[in-house]
Structure 1
């Protein structure tokens, strides 16, 4: 008899696994609708949508293993990471999806960065010097960009490979128009040593300083949210370690 496994859960959404079926429960029906549309349009391997009902989406498991997890060395080969880069390039070269971007533009990001940095220092979460250094690095990511079809949350746990080929990319609820460099940064967050392998598959047109900027920017903006939703950004290899690496 299959057991119910809680994959991830917080106040906004939860993902459960029962055998080879994943059930995604989301307080925002629009995210479920976006995920289904992104799965249909993305030119990369994706899970099969089994059914969709109000606030619940059922999808199939995909073959293979995730590239890795945050805080541990990735078991995937250089060829697998390069294949992931090639898959991301296919996505970014695809036509834009017909819905607006969900994230903030440069002005919104700048305002959010200022607010979050101030809170991190005033509340004693991080040393002022660490925040200031990473804020300077993060500014490279705050610039106009040409939108491409992005995954929007391309963590290494969302990319599966087998025999050095991508077999599935999961969790498309944040998919839509966005900055290509953001996808590349999230994919390599905490595994910065793999960036060259990803770029071997991805090809040209990448400003590495912008990717580094997104490592710092995403980490600075995520720390308070993670702590408030029951996650620990101080775990080995997680967001605080990403910030310390910039020192």
Structure 2
């Protein structure tokens, strides 16, 4: 193993010109495209080696969770097995309507999982001038539903508004899926 010469994008962000930042974002778009093009080993939601993993956004993932045979099974685990149809007498208030909408969205066909870093943030992207020289901290990497890369990059950086603002420059926005996260976390 050798040390990579460079600095975190977080440290370099304020030093780079808008043209240099555009170069960095173009490289990130290409990296994300290449990761998404990797063929999944199955339809399972799993770590990069096919087993269990953890995610800092999921408190009950410590020590580990998964793998799951499908996105639907993963989503059911995230909501701790909650199925609205099993609660016909539940008051149909605004919270319950949000939950039913989230479950309906989660239970749809998401297609095959895509390879995702799981913790893409400016501290994990190393640059030298306007060139990406490395991406570090792959411990949350795995095969996730297609929206997970965007929501994990956005929600993992709640205190970094500037980072959230630039995400659409290199990641496809998944606004509806991002909106269901607060409901899932209730």
> For this structure pair, what is the TM-score category when the shorter chain's length is used for normalisation?
0.5 to 0.7
Any idea what SS the aligned residue of 2:170 has?
helix
Whether the 8 Å CA contact 1:67–1:81 is kept in 2: the answer is no
Whether the 8 Å CA contact 2:8–2:122 is kept in 1: the answer is no
Number of the residue aligned with 1:57: none
Q: 1:155 & 1:109 partners in 2: Cα distance? A: 24
Number of the residue aligned with 1:195: 167
Whether the 8 Å CA contact 2:113–2:144 is kept in 1: the answer is yes
Number of the residue aligned with 1:91: 35
Any idea what SS the aligned residue of 1:155 has?
coil
Number of the residue aligned with 2:75: 109
| Alpha-carbon displacement from aligned partner over 1:114-157 (angstroms, at most 9, x marks no partner) | 679xxxxxxxxxxx968975985686465423123222332333
- Cα drift, residue 166 of structure 1: 1.7
Any idea what SS the aligned residue of 1:177 has?
strand
Residues 114 and 91 (structure 1), Cα distance of their counterparts in 2 relative to 1, 3 Å cut:
same
Q: 2:9 aligns with which of 60, 66, 83?
A: 66
Whether the 8 Å CA contact 1:138–1:213 is kept in 2: the answer is no
Q: 2:178 aligns with which of 190, 199, 215?
A: 215
Whether the 8 Å CA contact 2:102–2:183 is kept in 1: the answer is no
Instruction: Looking at secondary structure, tell me which structure has more strand per residue.
Output: 1
Residues 107 and 96 (structure 1), Cα distance of their counterparts in 2 relative to 1, 3 Å cut:
closer
Q: 2:153 & 2:177 partners in 1: Cα distance? A: 11
Any idea what SS the aligned residue of 2:147 has?
helix
Q: 1:219 & 1:159 partners in 2: Cα distance? A: 27
Provide the aligned C-alpha RMSD in A.
4.0
Q: 1:139 & 1:78 partners in 2: Cα distance? A: 38
| Alpha-carbon displacement from aligned partner over 1:2-29 (angstroms, at most 9, x marks no partner) | xxxxxxxxxxxxxxxxxxxxxxxxxxxx
Q: TM-score by structure 2 length?
A: 0.53
Structure 2, unaligned runs of 5 or more: 42-47, 53-65, 83-92
Residues 139 and 172 (structure 1), Cα distance of their counterparts in 2 relative to 1, 3 Å cut:
farther
Q: TM-score by structure 1 length?
A: 0.42
Any idea what SS the aligned residue of 1:82 has?
helix
Structure 1, unaligned runs of 5 or more: 1-47, 51-59, 69-73, 117-127, 200-205, 225-247
